[in-house]
Structure 1
Amino acid sequence: MKNKLIMASALLLSCAIAVAQEVAYEEYTLDNGLHVILHQDNTAPIVTTSVMYHVGAKDEDPERTGFAHFFEHLLFEGTKNVEKGKWMEIVSSNGGSNNANTTDDRTYYYEVFPSNNLQLGLWLESERMLHPIIEQSGVDTQNEVVKEEKRLRVDNSPYGRFIENIKIHLFKKHPYKGTTIGKMAHLDAATLEEFMAFNKKFYVPNNAVLVVAGDFEVGTAKKMINDYFADIPRGEDIIRNFPKEDPITEQINAKAYDPNIQIPATMIAYRTPGFKDREALVLDMISTYLSDGPSSKLYKKMVDEQKQALQVGALPFTQEDYGMYIVFALPVGETGLAELTAEMEEEIAKVRTDLISENDFQKIQNKLENRFVNSNSSVEGIASSLARYYMLYGDTSLINKEIDAYRSITREEIKEVANKYLKPNQRVVLEYLPEEKPTN
């Protein structure tokens, strides 16, 4: 009876969350191909304007890597009507904040303003799309900014190159084998004409989605959007035809060295489906089961009980075309990396061969419910989700429906997907080691 009451309570909670978190929106497309999504929420006097461009590191010339991330910085330099170096000043002086980020698949820009500055947010993004000034002085300035970011986040950061070293072994053909930040030598060698051509190709209305979320009047917003964006010329259609990867059929053993660490790590990585595939959701659940928090299987076993690992975790690194599933551990004392790898494989093998318990299954569902609530708890988060679901998944309605897909996954499906993708002969095992010091 107690279990039935718990399950009934969980069901009621899920239903309540689903109703409370329903995100209302309207979407349409301008004649130039710019897709527009509006989410009105008048509970707080703030508004987010954002633009996501369908361009990331995978779209770059392999001899000119780093362009997409570079443009994340470059398109804050200035425009025909925004003086060079004044973008941030304009935003902050009007009570706003702004930022941008880049992945292998997309680039996202956004501003958050008091709601009476919606027009300013839309004007700024239309300026970025229509009137960017791409000149050598700006390229030189941002080249130094990117180099410093790379030194800080990659070159001098402990474990900063582990993703890079995983990718080069998981991907041999697809451009995911590169890094988002790219190679500095490629940026140094690039001409101004190459930067201008990249902008002309990708930063166009038919390769973008504009989202307005927050406190605004819909009719007024639509008129502003039409005034600022409708006359921006459409770009040429972008055709993507990336090479497919061959299956991994034998374990790949590799080593990498990092001068910024003292404690080594072992990493097991698998190539997985892109995030539009239902199986990517299942792998996300497996990651939650194995390593999300102190109560997860790997943490309880290897950190708490057996005292073998200083840290253990799993990363479902999902992308548009393929994903990566990475499990890692850092040893304690004299524990060897091979021993940690064997212990992690033992827990992964259990997911391949046995059904997880009903109790553990419910814990996963509860965590996913909580993550869903948090992702839609602010207009800024909602704007990002709306842009992502439209641009990368091709289905804006997933902002309300994806949680139902998670709920529909069964314990049997978890076992089936683990057995399909998480086999020893389909993985990379990377020893991530402190850089060897030369001996005198």
Structure 2
Amino acid sequence: MIKKLRLIACSILIGSTGFAQEVEFTEYELENGLNVILHQDNTAPVVTVGVMYHVGAKDEAEGRSGFAHFFEHLLFEGTENIERGKWFDIVAANGGSNNANTTQDRTYYYETFPSNNLELGLWMESERMLHPVINKIGVDTQNEVVKEEKRSRIDNAPYGKIIYGTGINKYVFNKHPYKNSVIGTMEDLDAAELDEFKSFFKRYYGPNNATLVVAGNIEMEETKKMIKNYFGEIPVGPEVKRVDIKEDPITETITATEYDSNIQIPAKLFVYRTPSMIEKDAYVLDMISSILTDGKSSRMYKKMVDEEKTALQVLAFPRSQEDYGTYVMGALALGETSLDTLATSMDQEIAKLQNELISEKEYQKLQNKFENRFVNSNSSIQGIASSLATYSVLYGDTDLINEEIEIYRNITREDIKRVANEYLKENQRLELDYLPESAKE
């Protein structure tokens, strides 16, 4: 059994923005492989119980996209001891709230309760892990729920293909399952047999592929006893084989056009494939995003929105993932501005980053922003629980909840220039024209 204990040594002065305390946690492993992280904070009578499974959309079989996201819904259907359709009623009746979310790399379920209902939260998550009811009525019901979610969030939402990556990833990835969207296709889900859903659960939802986080107003030894009682006897699942697919480098510009019936304003996008979220360069790209589009004083906003008045809105952001990331830059055209004009302006801003060091003043402002973000990043028990699980499962280093800020602090102006040159190359990107459906005519 491995234990880690982070002690609060002192409060860290964060420039002039305030103080941030280290997050104290204890981490250990049950005999069945369940990773457990405990964080005690008795300042408020609340507790969050979360379970993160190391399974996401990238783990799905070819032709069965959407399974991981589908399970995000399906595992609320009920268990052998929780009547179908009663999960949310039980949580609400006991003063709690709950939710779940899925990415390409993991699925996370959590409940937040008054702290006197900690045991209820542990029991419910152990029920979800030990013996959920997976039957035809549940699959059929959630199939309709997922279809409606797809319609509302992607099919009928302005710029939905950009927000959820369905109009982007298929161009940037050829081999890796990141080419598929998290929500998958309805054809794949409709074609799946009940036994395929049961097999997916057995393969990925064992304790040895999960991290349990309990954060909030808890007593440590009592909580450990309850965890052992509810989770200790759950059988070990099969060993999970991780996705290990390497993409060939992008060496020529990819051009594509996507149409959206929900928009009237066209957009120009540049999309680059970038390194894993655990790499330092992924953090540098995060900083580059702030330089380009974080606020009205950012470079692209000042140039394209304020001065040139060619863009209604600008965007630049990284999508950090476990194996590869993507970096998205874009602008929405103002008036009759051509997409070529937007592309030229964006390329000019990239060239500045590639050829000139940012000023010391801009660099200090950037550091202050990230220090402030660090201070605010763990302002709630629910947020701390999610962060602890994420750093453990995807980064393999739970200590990053306290130490990640040091990565940003150690990024130099030279790093920013180097990364812009290495990843933001014209021959390594997708150039996407995102147009109204009426532009087809």
TM range (shorter): over 0.9
Question: Contact between 2:15 and 2:371, CA under 8 Å: does it hold in 1?
Answer: no
> What stretches of structure 1 of length at least 5 have no aligned partner?
1-11
Which residue number in structure 1 is paired with residue 404 of structure 2? 402
CA drift of 1:293 comes to 1.4
Q: Which residues in structure 2 correspond to 1:312-351 (within 5 Å)?
A: 312-351=314-353
Q: CA deviation at 1:438?
A: 7.3
Closer/same/farther in 2, CA of residues 287 and 387 from structure 1, 3 Å limit: same
Unaligned 5+ runs, structure 2: 1-11
Match of 1:178 in 2: 180
Counterparts of 1:103-118 in structure 2 under 5 Å?
A: 103-118=103-118
> CA contact under 8 A between 2:103 and 2:182: conserved in structure 1?
yes
Q: Distance in 2 between matches of 1:342 and 1:165?
A: 22
**Given that residues 175 and 242 in structure 1 are in contact (C-alpha distance below 8 angstroms), is that contact kept between their aligned partners in structure 2?**
no
Partner of 2:281: 279
Match of 2:208 in 1: 206
Partner-residue secondary structure (3-state), 2:110: strand
> What is the CA–CA distance in structure 1 between the aligned matches of 2:236 and 2:16, rounded to whole Å?
43
**Which position in structure 2 is the counterpart of 1:101?**
101
Secondary structure of the 1:116 match is helix
TM-score by length of 1: 0.95
* 1:356 matched to 2:358: yes
How many residue pairs get matched? 428
Alpha-carbon distance in structure 2 between the residues aligned to 1:309 and 1:203: 46
Q: In structure 1, what residue type is equivalent to 2:285?
A: L
State the partner residue of 1:138. 138
Using the TM superposition, give the Cα deviation of residue 17 of structure 1 relative to its aligned residue in structure 2, in angstroms: 7.4
Q: Could you tell me which amino acid in structure 2 is paired with residue 204 of structure 1?
A: G
For 1:271, give the aligned amino acid: R
Match runs of 1:19-418 below 5 Å: 20-162=20-162, 163-418=165-420
Contact 1:57/1:104, CA 8 A, preserved across alignment: yes
Distance in 1 of aligned mates of 2:84 and 2:244: 37
Q: 1:210/1:18 Cα in 2 relative to 1: closer, same or farther (>3 Å)?
A: farther
Give the letter aligned to residue 386 of structure 1. Answer: L
Tell me the CA shift for residue 242 of structure 1: 2.7
Question: Which letter does structure 1 place at the counterpart of 2:146?
Answer: V
Q: Distance in 1 between matches of 2:426 and 2:81?
A: 57
| CA distance, structure 1, for counterparts of residue 440 and residue 134 of structure 2 | 45
Check conservation: 1:21, 1:376, Cα contact below 8 A.
Answer: no
Please give the TM-score of this superposition, normalised by the length of structure 2: 0.95
Q: Which residue of 1 aligns with 2:3?
A: none
* Structure 1 letter corresponding to 2:117: N
Distance in 2 between residues matched to 1:365 and 1:57, nearest whole Å: 34
> 1:16 offset after TM fit, Å?
8.3
- Asked whether the equivalents of residues 130 and 234 of structure 2 are also in contact (C-alpha less than 8 Å), the reply is yes
State the SS of the aligned residue for 1:100.
strand
User: How far has the Cα of 1:371 moved from its partner?
Assistant: 1.6
Q: Does the Cα contact within 8 Å between 2:19 and 2:375 map onto a contact in 1?
A: no
Whole-angstrom distance in 2 between the partners of 1:265 and 1:19: 41
Judging changes above 3 Å, is the alpha-carbon distance between structure 1 residues 252 and 438 closer, same or farther for their aligned structure 2 residues?
closer
TM-superposition CA deviations, 1:390-424 (whole Å, max 9, x none): 00000000000000110011001110111100111
Whether contact under 8 Å (1:316, 1:325) holds in the other structure is: yes
2: CA distance, partners of 1:31 / 1:331: 57
Counterparts of 1:296 and 1:151 in 2: how far apart (Å)?
A: 34
Give the stretch that moved more between structures: 211-220 or 160-169.
160-169
Instruction: Tell me by how many angstroms 1:183 deviates.
Output: 0.4
**What is the CA-CA distance between 1:62 and the residue it aligns to?**
1.6
